[in-house]
Amino acid sequence: MIDPITLILGITLGGVLVCFAVHFIPVGGAPAAMAQTTGIGTGTTMLATGSGLTGLVSAGFMLNAVGAGVDQMALVLASGAVGAMLMLDFTMLIANAIYVWGVGVVPASAKVKYDPITKDRQDLYVSQGTEGHGMPTVCFVSGTLGALFGGVGGSLVYWMLYHVSADPAMSGIFAIGIFLVNSVIASYNIGGTIEGFHDPKFKRLPKAVVASLVATFLCALIAIYVVPGGAVL
């Protein structure tokens, strides 16, 4: 039996991790779908959610297989993180293949002159009138890190909620809700597009973390009462 204060704090930490994670994921929104900006061609919220939920499926399976004991917690969180990373990495890999062979553009960042990881020149490969296209290595690595944190955060929320209700379905649906709340907060903070940890917009992160802390804390308070089997206070 885990005490309610720890559960609330755990859910809050998981939510904040999700919000933190979304800032790492390179999303270009609608312009990226037309190869007009660097990043993945969809919205921040939906991409982070898609990846996080794949992690949630992996974490749910692992928790069911190894049990909900504290000793197995790290394994459940790691499994969630790997599920999320696999989804996002396959998506970025095939999206890059489409940018290269389907559209004929080079993955290039418009926010930095040199890729911080490979040291490759970027600005010469940005086509005219665009803000970059595709996912160069730095964006790919940043996205992988984002999926890692998002997967851990979502799984942590699920693990904590499971200890409130012992009901996988209810814990899962509430974890999805908390995931969406934090993805939307991050999405508003980013305001459209972000390339990853090397993007100047990444510096806005502290504001989102504070907002997420407040919002998730309230969600956690409600969760303790609303989730069936809850009201452990």
**Nearest distance from residue 154's CB to other proteins, in Å?**
11
Q: Which of 31, 146, 150, 196 lies at the binding interface for other proteins (CB under 8 A)?
A: 31
**Nearest distance from residue 206's CB to other proteins, in Å?**
27
For residues 23 and 133, which CB has a smaller minimum distance to other proteins in the complex? 133
Assign 37 to helix, strand or coil: strand
Helix, strand, coil tally for the chain in percent (to 5): 70, 5, 25
Q: Which of 12, 21, 38, 54 lies at the binding interface for other proteins (CB under 8 A)?
A: 54
* 35 sits near other proteins (criterion: CB under 8 A): yes
DSSP state of 127: P
* 33 sits near other proteins (criterion: CB under 8 A): yes
Assign 216 to helix, strand or coil: helix
* 93 sits near other proteins (criterion: CB under 8 A): yes
Half-sphere exposure of 99 (CA within 13 A, CB side): 27
For residues 4 and 43, which CB has a smaller minimum distance to other proteins in the complex? 43
Q: What residue has token string 């996988």?
A: 168
**Nearest distance from residue 135's CB to other proteins, in Å?**
7
Burial 129-139 (b: 16+ CB within 10 A, else e): ebbbbbbbebb
Q: What residue has token string 């696999």?
A: 86
- The phi and psi torsions of 40 (rounded to 5 degrees) equal -85, 140
* 64 sits near other proteins (criterion: CB under 8 A): yes
**Nearest distance from residue 210's CB to other proteins, in Å?**
27
* 154 sits near other proteins (criterion: CB under 8 A): no
Q: Where are the alpha helices (DSSP H) in 67-204?
A: 73-97, 137-165, 168-190
Q: Which of 10, 15, 29, 154 lies at the binding interface for other proteins (CB under 8 A)?
A: 29
Region from 3-11, 50-58, 195-203, 216-224 binding other proteins, contact rule CB under 8 A: 50-58
Burial 169-199 (b: 16+ CB within 10 A, else e): ebbbebbbebbbbbbbbbbebbeebbbbbbb
Q: Which of 140, 149, 159, 174 lies at the binding interface for other proteins (CB under 8 A)?
A: 140
Region from 172-180, 185-193, 194-202, 222-230 binding other proteins, contact rule CB under 8 A: 172-180
Site for other proteins in 180-199 (CB under 8 A): none
**Nearest distance from residue 159's CB to other proteins, in Å?**
13
Rg of the Cα atoms in the chain: 18
